[in-house]
Structure 1
């Protein structure tokens, strides 16, 4: 099959488009014909070797963890899906090798759920990793409830935009940090936007003089410390970017595949609670250009790679 792969850690220049070995379908896996695969910042961090201490790389590595596609073969121990089912998945295993930037991927059933009927394949591919991250932080780590004031950083990005929507659905007031060009977008999502950079604490305090009940950090470093300082007494803090959050009394979160949570995202999308913004799509053979775009760090919503099938 055709796929994107790399044989050594490095920049986008190590990515190659060409033939790789067809995936084998294990008993608990499903062979998915890929229609779209979204990129996330973690994908280029994996390719650069930054997760090497946590995840072994079995080269050549096919990158990508997000997918939307069609089941072509369920494993012998998989009654949940049948040939022709449209699915989405956060296809992360405990090593790097068999990713989603390919014509086919063998996905463990625990990583899959039904695709939202009202989303295109490109939109649906942008939902799993970022949506699960937002859901597991907003609902579980921060336990956001009605009446809370929630601070979300990088609120126009993939994770941030879902976090805004989920927090608003829970009945919270949301303050979202973003560059000025994304402020109208955040207002459309229901957030009150504030500009990044120097003076951030003062701008947030002007909107929430008594502090925020919960803060969702996606940046780390100084932004994490500022978030802790902005908390109201008893406020909750979570980060997906900086383990130092634990020293500040908060929780470090790393998203995990969860079919039940993924199914909930599908249901929320079908109810119109969650929308997926796709900034740009690229064909599979131009995936390196998609990586170059997401590595600029100015993405609104999702960058998606599509596989063009002739049928």
Structure 2
């Protein structure tokens, strides 16, 4: 069977992406075949096909831990698929699979080592994924919204577990109006924490609607943060990068109380927590799905694109510009 997929054969901007026809993969042990209905886009996607320096740094660190990978040729990196989050229907079950059956509606994300750790991609009409990368989709969540939950569930669940978020905390979240940040805000609020969200002034009312105290990055952030809440700031989750980890340290927080989704040598040297899916568990899939089903977390869709090369390139071009509320989704089939 012929599968349509978005791939790239060199690092670069969205113009390196191509829509190609490939052969259907054979199922491995503990895998299922999924007919893809929708794919949620994440910043990690374009950082991967651009070959971003932080991801190359993580790949270098992985090779230090796994010396056999030094013998991989550069050519073996390509071609590569793109996209991680997806929702769809299982059409075939492989040997060893125990939790799923043909016809099950599922959502999930393709999991890999930090960095440039996988050649697989969710932006395809059909994919083969591990049983550990999917969970049953609740009936009340449609495919488009379900496709936004994979990375978010593992990222937020893993990050808050790593920094030990609890109901007594006052947590600052940067990029709080974005696809991951807006879910992190609601997740923390649902856990009973006081949340201060950093975003642009135009997103202030939106953050209030999510339950956060808004602070604009267009002002003196440190001063604004210190005056935003009557309780001391105890935790910080950086969903953007740049100088936010330095800001967190300037607030008097220890590295164990600071989580960031963006790796850098500075973060590791100073002892802040590079976190996210690497500190997640399988139950994090279910936790977010339950929060969405119970109305504790609203999934905001910024825009839906069709499954064409022009449209996918446009989607990533827009995603890189930032300043969007919620997630961008590619609809593969109705």
TM over 0.5, yes or no?
yes
Residue 196 of structure 2 aligns with which residue? Answer: 175
In the alignment, what sits opposite 2:321? 296
**Residue 278 of structure 1, CA deviation:** 0.7
Structure 1 unpaired stretches of 5+: none
Query: What is aligned with 1:280?
Result: 303
> What is the alpha-carbon distance in structure 2 between the residues aligned to residue 295 and residue 287 of structure 1?
12
1:57-206 mapped onto 2 (5 Å cutoff) = 58-94=77-113, 95-138=117-160, 140-206=161-227
- TM-score normalised by length of structure 1: 0.92
Partner SS state of residue 19, structure 1: strand
Q: What secondary structure, in the 3-state scheme, does the structure 1 residue paired with 2:119 have?
A: strand
CA 1:219–1:182 in structure 2 vs 1: closer, same or farther (change >3 Å)?
same
Q: Which runs of 5+ in 2 are unaligned?
A: 63-71
Mapped partners of 2:231, 2:194: distance in 1: 14
**Cα deviation digits, residues 171-230 of structure 1 (max 9, x gap):** 111000011221121111100111013401111111136640101112233222112222
SS state at 2:223 partner = helix
- When you count helix as a share of all residues, which structure comes out higher? 2
Give CA deviations for 1:77-136 in whole Å, capped at 9, x if unaligned. Answer: 102111110111111234332210000010111111111322211111111102221111
1:12 pairs with 1, 11, 14, which one? Answer: 14
- Cα deviation code 1:252-295 (max 9, x no counterpart): 11424743221222222222222211100111112111111111
The answer to whether the Cα contact below 8 Å between 1:68 and 1:86 also exists between their aligned partners in 2 is yes
> Using the alignment, how far apart are the partners of 2:245 and 2:254 within structure 1?
17
RMSD: 2.0
